[in-house]
Amino acid sequence: MVDGAKRRAALAKVKTAVMKAAMSGLYHTGAHRLLAPYTQGVGVIFTLHHVRPEPDEPKAFAPNRILEVTPEFLDAVLDQVQEAGLDVVSLDEAVLRLQEGDDRRFACFTFDDGYRDNLKYAYPMFKRRSMPLTLYVPTDYPDGNGELWWLALEEIVARAHEIELCRNGELWRLPAGTVPEKTRAFAEIYWWLRLIDEATQREVVRVLADRYEVDMAADCSRLVMDWDEIRTMAADPLVTVGAHTKGHFAVSKLYVSRACEEMGGSADRIERELGVRPIHFSYPYGDPGSAGRRDFALARQVGFQTAVTTRKGMLFPAHRRHLMALPRVSLNGEYQSLTYTALCLSGAPFALWNRFQQVNAA
């Protein structure tokens, strides 16, 4: 019997394959260029996570590789975006342009989770070019008690030969001896964890991390900036700091009061540390299962002026009425080519994905 987690893992794989085929079709027929005037919109918000050089010895099992790009690739994308005639602007400027109906095309660059490599590799690049960028910080992370559970899960699966878990009161055993087995085990556990409630999700990973001696607090301190480092960046007018909840939770899975506390509490914490209250927010995970209509309304109530999702898409003038559900385009580590980003800038792949609906905020 195929269970929910298996189905989600398989679906993610199929979606990637369909997207790859569609992208390749668009590019080789040149259709993206014909579609661009209708599909490119007025702007784009790019999503990034880690920016760091490739390791000397790339790992065969690296399921989180999608979350990192190299500094060279990012540098080339910044050139490409400029050559394509887009202005790199701050989120404040993006909102202004949307509200005023300004038709000059723009791009925003946003970095989720506050990784230290953003300070080391990405920030100097933007500084040199005088280009703005936004960081979205889950405030437990610089406090040193964040749980980057997807990274912990990768380490656990890398170390294990077989994984035993308690799932819905039953023993779940997954082989993890070979790279294909590890890849499968990671995908199945990952998608199961994304489905279940947040408290159980964290508890499951804590138990496994304990068993395989993975220190999540140490990973957090090693990978994520502390408040002093965030303050260094925030002191630069080019840098906007936005909120990303406290503990990096999928807000749609939380009760209203808890969701508000996660959103508003992270804004309070940033205000206390930086002296400025953030008005921009990023929903952790950001997919429709992690942030929906209720959460868009909550983000507005909490006082944010914009909130970004990871729903794929370009920005159109109509988004000025949907500032709590802005789409983004991920610079994905698996697609580090300027061909891919040229396709993205045409907006054509997302128009196909969204069946030519410009706004997807349901």
Residues in the chain: 362
Residue (97 or 248) nearer to Zn ion, CB: 248
Report the nearest approach of Zn ion to the CB of residue 151 (Å): 12
DSSP state of 122: I
Report the nearest approach of Zn ion to the CB of residue 284 (Å): 5
- Position with the least CB separation from Zn ion: 112
Report the nearest approach of Zn ion to the CB of residue 49 (Å): 7
Candidates 92-100, 261-269, 276-284, 332-340; binding stretch for Zn ion (CB under 5 A): 276-284
DSSP state of 124: H
219 binds Zn ion (CB under 5 A): no
Q: Binding string, 110-139, against Zn ion, x = CB under 5 A?
A: --xx--------------------------
Report the nearest approach of Zn ion to the CB of residue 179 (Å): 26
Q: Which of 129, 98, 127, 153 is nearest to 318 (CA)?
A: 98
What is the DSSP secondary-structure string of 39-92?
Answer: HS-SEEEEEE-EE-PPPSS--S--TTGGGEE-HHHHHHHHHHHHHTTPEE--HH
Q: Binding string, 278-317, against Zn ion, x = CB under 5 A?
A: ------x---------------------------------
Residue (119 or 348) nearer to Zn ion, CB: 119
Report the nearest approach of Zn ion to the CB of residue 112 (Å): 4
Looking up tokens 């502390």 gives 226
Report the nearest approach of Zn ion to the CB of residue 213 (Å): 25
Q: Binding string, 93-112, against Zn ion, x = CB under 5 A?
A: -------------------x
Residue (152 or 345) nearer to Zn ion, CB: 152
Report the nearest approach of Zn ion to the CB of residue 310 (Å): 9
Report the nearest approach of Zn ion to the CB of residue 300 (Å): 20
Alpha carbon of 333 to those of 224, 282, 337: distances in Å? 19, 20, 9
Size of the site for Zn ion (CB under 5 A): 3
**Could you give the residue ranges of the DSSP H alpha helices within the chain?**
4-29, 31-39, 71-83, 91-100, 116-117, 123-129, 149-159, 179-195, 198-211, 216-223, 227-234, 256-274, 293-302, 338-346, 348-353
Give phi and psi for 221, each to the nearest 5: -65, -35
Residue (112 or 273) nearer to Zn ion, CB: 112
Residue (242 or 349) nearer to Zn ion, CB: 242
Of residues 171-200, those binding Zn ion (CB under 5 A): none
Residue (112 or 295) nearer to Zn ion, CB: 112
**CB neighbour list of residue 81: distance below 8 Å, 6 or more residues apart:** 88, 107, 341, 345
- What angle (nearest 5°) sits at the alpha carbon of residue 228, between those of residues 223 and 230? 65
Residue (23 or 254) nearer to Zn ion, CB: 254
Greatest Cα pair distance, the chain, in angstroms, is: 57
| Site residues, Zn ion (CB under 5 A) | 112-113, 284
